[in-house]
Amino acid sequence: MEENASPKIVPQDWDDFVQFITEHRDEIAEGQYDLRIEKDWARDLGDHDLLLLVEHCPSSRLTIASASRSVAVLDRLALDDSSDVREAVADNSRCSTKTLNILSKDYVAAVRMAVAGNLNVSEEVLERLTGDPANYVRWGVAHNEKTSTSVLATLLTDRDSYVSDEAKKNPNAPKKGWLTRLFSR
């Protein structure tokens, strides 16, 4: 991503921030300012203002991706050029299943791992990600408490011990019967 030549603006508090947006909306839309936002502010700002910042203030995108409660904003940020922003979207608990399905095919493994750990991910995506070439993506599937017993059964035999060990720790992991536990000692 190109470095924006716009002056970076860091408001001191919420009131200063809202006042600046109100007074300079047109200039922000023209790319004259690059506002930096705080997480708390991203949670409280409406979609209209968040989308304005997403489109014209690169310094705000990562914070908005991690803190926004808006599905529409997260859907827009899922298309961002920055893998850090896409990863933050995939890690956001408000991210929709539809968007997680799209991000599960991202070329960056860290984004796929964030998808694997999100509780909104579909069972079909979790099942597909058990075959991911990156061990930490499979570890994310093993760690997700939404992962089904049948998917975890596959991960229990994963070639990577970190993945199989994590699958054993999952509360949904298949339980061995008392006879199996007795004779496996």
Residue 101 tokens read as 């399905």
Nearest to 89 by CA among 128, 121, 57: 121
Residue 132: which region, alpha, beta or left (left: phi > 0; alpha: psi -120 to 50)?
beta
Q: Buried b / exposed e across 37-47, counting CB within 10 Å, b at 16+?
A: bbeebbeebee
Contact indicator for 55, 31 with CB cutoff of 8 Å: no
For residues 25 and 117, give the distance between their C-alpha atoms in angstroms, rounded to a whole number.
37
CA distances from 161 to 71, 157, 169 (A): 36, 9, 12
Tell how strand 8-9 and strand 34-35 pair up. parallel
- Token pair listed for 63: 């914070």
Residue 63 CA neighbour count, 13 Å, CB half = 17
> Is 93 within 8 Å of 87 (Cβ atoms)?
no
Confidence of residue 9 (pLDDT cuts 50, 70, 90): confident
Structure confidence by residue, pLDDT tens digits, 29-59: 999 988 888 898 888 889 999 999 999 999 9
Q: What is the pLDDT of residues 125-177, one digit of tens each?
A: 999 999 999 999 999 999 999 999 999 999 999 999 999 999 999 999 998 65
Distance CA 98, CA 96 (A): 5
pTM reported for the whole predicted model: 0.87
Specify the pLDDT at position 136. 96
Helical segments of 1-158, H only:
14-29, 39-44, 47-56, 61-67, 71-77, 83-91, 97-103, 109-117, 123-129, 135-143, 149-155
pLDDT digits (tens, 9 = 90+) for 68-110: 999 999 999 999 999 999 999 999 999 999 999 999 999 999 9
Residue type, 61: R
Could you tell me the CA-to-CA distances from 53 to 14, 101, 122, 141, 174 in Å, in that order?
A: 15, 25, 30, 33, 46
